[in-house]
Amino acid sequence: MTSQYKASRFMALPERPTPAYRLSGMCLPAPLSVGELETFSAISRQISPLRKRQTLFAQGEALKSLYIVRCGSLKQVYRDITDEAHITQFYLPGEVVGLDAISTGFHPGTTQALETTSVCEILPEALEEFSRKEAAEKGGNGCFLRVMSRALHQERMMVRLLLNRTSDVRLASFLLALSTRFRQQGYSPFCFRLSMSRSDIGNYLGLAVETVSRLLGRFQDLGLLTAKGREIRVDDLDGLMALADGRARQSIWHAGIVPPSSCRLAGMPAH
């Protein structure tokens, strides 16, 4: 037992000792790796697909099972005491739904399908059995815990992303995250369909719908992408990434193309 081994006891599969992470692509919870997915598949069972707008569970409902998204997508909506709705997560294929209910035993938000969506159910008995076995083998440091830790970390990065960043950076990061996810699922990272509305995106990113719309228009003017309704085609991935990493020269409104009238200075006397 080397000291190297000792030091890495908490580790699952050491991924990489990255000292600093990029902000871009941090907008969505990390999916399970292929190996993890297989593991969980073994203890889960498919349930009949959800139609658009159908809910998987409602806010306040007791946690019965965890779920893994197979295909399609869901949004988790948390309604606060002032009855305002906040979208706290989008769940895409490969992601685990329900982790945030474990502490209280009740779901903190309603989760509903954005399109026809199929999920697998991880029954508690199966998970229990699985955990027991895993714990015996690896000392309680199983992939379940790892998934959770990753979600936690992602969430912290998300806070940072949304906090000090301008609207353009937020949206660019979000789109890149989606693009990455689609690539991981074997779809084109350049051409995909948004399953969520503009207002869902705005809500999630803390932006007004109008801002999302304007930004998409602006990205198009800059040649970064083409948006037709909910169809997105990424034309300049590097450009988008530069934007998302804050590495763009200046505000996108001053990057050559004519700014919209509302941003031109109202030439007021500088008395």
User: Which residues in this chain contact DNA in the complex, by CB under 7 A?
Assistant: 166-168, 197-199, 206-214, 216-217, 227, 229-230, 251, 253, 260-263, 265-266, 270
- Return d(Cα 162, Cα 34) in angstroms, integer: 29
Question: Which of DNA, its own copies, none is residue 168 near (CB under 5 to 8 Å by kind)?
Answer: DNA
Considering CB distances under 5 to 8 angstroms, the limit depending on partner class, which of DNA, its own copies, none binds residue 212?
Answer: DNA
If binding is defined by CB under 8 A, does position 247 make contact with its own copies? Answer: yes
**In sequence order, what are the beta bridge partners of 67?**
97, 121
What is the DSSP track for 178-245? HHHHHHHTTS-SSEEE--S-HHHHHHHHT--HHHHHHHHHHHHHTTSEEEETTEEEES-HHHHHHHHT
Residues in CB range of 66: below 8 A, 6 or more apart:
96, 97, 98, 99, 121, 122, 127
Token digits of residue 212: 């999302």
Which residues in 13-72 contact its own copies (CB under 8 A)? 14-23, 30, 59-60, 62-64, 66
Residues 121-150 that bind its own copies (CB under 8 A): 124-125, 127-132, 134-136, 139-142, 144-150
Minimum CB separation from DNA for residue 11, in Å?
A: 35
The correct pick among 47, 151, 209, 237 for binding its own copies (CB under 8 A) is 151
Residue 120 interacting partner from DNA, its own copies, none (CB closer than 5 to 8 Å by kind) = none
Q: Give yes or no for residue 94 binding its own copies (CB under 8 A).
A: no
Residue 185 · residue 93 · CB < 8 Å? yes
